[in-house]
Every structure is written in structure tokens, then in C-alpha cells.
Amino acid sequence: MSAANANNNARPRPPSRSSAPRDEAQVAKIPHILPHERVFPIQIGNELFKLSGASISSDAPSYFSQYFYCQIKKAQETGEDLSSAIRTLYIDRDPQTFADISLHLQGYHVKPRDGTHFVRLFADAQFYSLPKLISQLYEESIFISIGHREFQIPRDIFTDPGNSPNFFSLGFAVFFSNPEDLFPGLEREGLLRPPSILPPSVPNRSAETFSEILHLLRGYPVTIRDETHRAELLRDCRYFNFKGLEQRLIPHHISYNQSRRREEIVLRLEDILKSGISVAADVSASPGEHLSGWVNYARPYVDDRAAELVLETGSESTRLHFQSCLGRGG
């Protein structure tokens, strides 16, 4: 037993806490890809890191585990002493980013601090082939800059059926793709470094408007101040392709017609989508008028049942053009 271990055992230890990097049960679950007690040198940029075999094996197979495993295998075949056979692995990458990756390998949870930190961890986790870190980052919230203001957004907000696919899932597909193929089409063989990635950014939209859209996507209400405010929200919903949210925001009125005993929905003509239209047969029509019916409408992604459509016209006078139907009077 080393002197450091002896000193640690001599001191009274506080009760185990969940924040501890790794307990004995966790260590027992680490695969024995590399000798757990041996230290392996890795130089990233101008900084030298020394990680135990247990740390490297905790997220493997990886670039590191494969490199040192091959050295150990070769030493065993040639009878060379491991102390001299293990050589330093040199990688020309950012040492500050790797400092966080080394904490991850030692059992600490590493959380991205901002958009730049996220994409650096994201790219290097893929470059080093660290499966657990890749999976963790794939589940993390992503950072998006809108109008030069940074937002941290849970991924599931962008995967709602009514609002997906959208501007973000299509425009920044690398952050929403399969974690096993984060850089589609990229050949790993001979890859010197991963492609450069910038944090998602949309500088030409309003941060204030997007903040309200995000509030709505999270399920909270937003008070529409006036029609200008509504138009701003609708414009950016259409820009980001949030179709479900757009349908919730369009001006409408749903009421129950007591005399006809039917639900009615009032909409502007320009807000009607073809996918929401249906025609219900008029059950009260006489046999000779079997082609008559009522136009019903259900807002796509929002309404679970259709109501009879009432059109709202924007001016006092409206010109209607009727085309004569074959077999009937025009």
C-alpha cells in the first residue's frame, strides 16, 4: 500500500455522498480493458495528463483505451517491461477542454457551461470516441444564440410532433442526429481532427420574441398585447417552422351555436390551411340536394375535432365569384 493510501486510511472519512466521483461498487463495474492501477500519460497540446487505467476504461472502447491496449499487447508479445513499453500519447487538441473530459473519465458529471463549451466537448467526445460522454451530451440541453442572446433549451421542446421538423432540427441537424453517427459521412480512418463546429446561432431574429415563443413551447401562457404583438409572434413561428404553435396563436373564436346545435369556429381566410378542411354532409337536406354539406375546420396539430367554419372578412364589402356547377343552375 502506498504512503498516500495509508494516510487516507488513517484519517476518519465522512459518510459517502452522491457527489463523490466514484465508489467501490462503481469501480467494480468498470471493465478491465486496461490495468486499473496503472497510470497512462496523455499529452494534449502543451499539457500532460496522467489517467489511471480505471478512468480510461470507464468510458471505453475509446481512442485512448485502444492506443494503450495495443502497447500492452505488444509488450506482452515481446516480453518487454510495461513500465518502459507504455509511451506517452500526443494529441494536438485543446487542453482546457480535455481537462473537463478527464474529470468525466474520473467519474464527475461534466455539464456544458455555454455554447462554445458545449460544441468543444461535443466535437472532442466524438473525436476521442467516448461513447458515454457522447450519449450524455446527446441528452443535454443545447445552447442557441438568438439575436445575440444565448438560450439554453431542452431538446424535447423541439421534438414535439406539432412543431417538428423545424428550423433547428433541420438547420442544425448535427445536434439532433443519431448519437452513433453525429458526423454523417465522416470517415474516421486517418482523421486528424473533427470538423469545426459553431454553436447554433440566428442573429437576425428578435431575442425578446423568441423568449416569448420559448415560454409558449414550455406550456406557459403569454398575454397577447395587441395585433402587432400577435403578428410578431406569428412571423417568427413561421420562420422557425413551429406549425403547432402558429395554429394556437392565429386569431380565432370557437363557440356553440344554440339554434343549430353545432360548434362553430371563426377564422380569417388567410389563416385557413387545406389540411384542416373537411366537408360534413347536410343530414337535413332533401334527397334532391344530396351534394349539399357544411364546410368544417379543425386547426392542424391543435383541435381534436372539427367545427363548422365561419369566415371572417377584413372589410365591409367582399366580392364572391361563383362558378356554375355541371347539371345544376348557376
Q: Please, what CATH class does the domain formed by 24-110 belong to?
A: alpha beta
Pairing of strands 307-312, 39-44: unpaired
Beta partners for residue 310, in sequence order: 266
Question: What's the pLDDT score for residue 82?
Answer: 87
CATH of segment(s) 111-121+140-249: 3.30.710.10
More confident residue, 138 or 51: 51
Which among 87, 77, 117 has a CA at the least distance from the CA of 101? 117
Q: In angstroms, how far is CA 40 from the centroid of its own chain?
A: 35
Contact 142/199 with Cβ under 8 angstroms? Answer: no
Residue 304, judged by CB atoms within 10 A of its CB (0-12, 13-18, 19+), counts as exposed
**Residue 111 DSSP SS3:** coil
More confident residue, 160 or 18: 160
* pLDDT per residue as tens digits for the range 67-79: 999 999 999 999 9
Beta partners for residue 132, in sequence order: none
**In this model, does residue 182 exceed pLDDT 80?**
no
Q: What is the mean pLDDT of residues 203-218?
A: 96
Direct distance between the N- and C-terminal alpha carbons of the chain, in angstroms, rounded to an integer: 102
**In this model, does residue 11 exceed pLDDT 50?**
no
In percent, the amount of the chain with pLDDT more than 70 equals: 78
**In this model, does residue 184 exceed pLDDT 90?**
no
Q: Write down the domain spans for the chain.
A: 24-110, 111-121+140-249, 252-312
CA distance 201 to 149: 9
Instruction: State the sign of the Cα–Cα–Cα–Cα dihedral 111, 171, 303, 250.
Output: positive
Q: What is the mean pLDDT of residues 223-233?
A: 96
**In this model, does residue 284 exceed pLDDT 90?**
no
* pLDDT per residue as tens digits for the range 304-328: 999 999 998 766 666 666 665 555 4
Question: What's the pLDDT score for residue 34?
Answer: 96
Lowest mean pLDDT among 26-30, 49-53, 137-141, 253-257: 26-30
Question: Average model confidence (pLDDT) for the chain?
Answer: 84
Question: What's the pLDDT score for residue 64?
Answer: 97
Confidence class for position 5, pLDDT limits 50, 70, 90 = very low
* DSSP letter (8 states) at residue 199: P
Confidence class for position 186, pLDDT limits 50, 70, 90 = low
Q: What is the mean pLDDT of residues 195-200?
A: 83
Edge-to-edge order in the sheet of strand 262-268: 252-257, 262-268, 307-312, 293-297, 277-281
Q: In angstroms, how far is CA 205 from the centroid of its own chain?
A: 20
Lowest mean pLDDT among 110-119, 231-240, 307-316: 307-316
Lowest mean pLDDT among 83-87, 127-131, 169-173, 276-280: 169-173
CA distance 70 to 173: 35
Instruction: Judge if 24-110 and 111-121+140-249 fold alike in CATH terms.
Output: yes
**In this model, does residue 10 exceed pLDDT 70?**
no
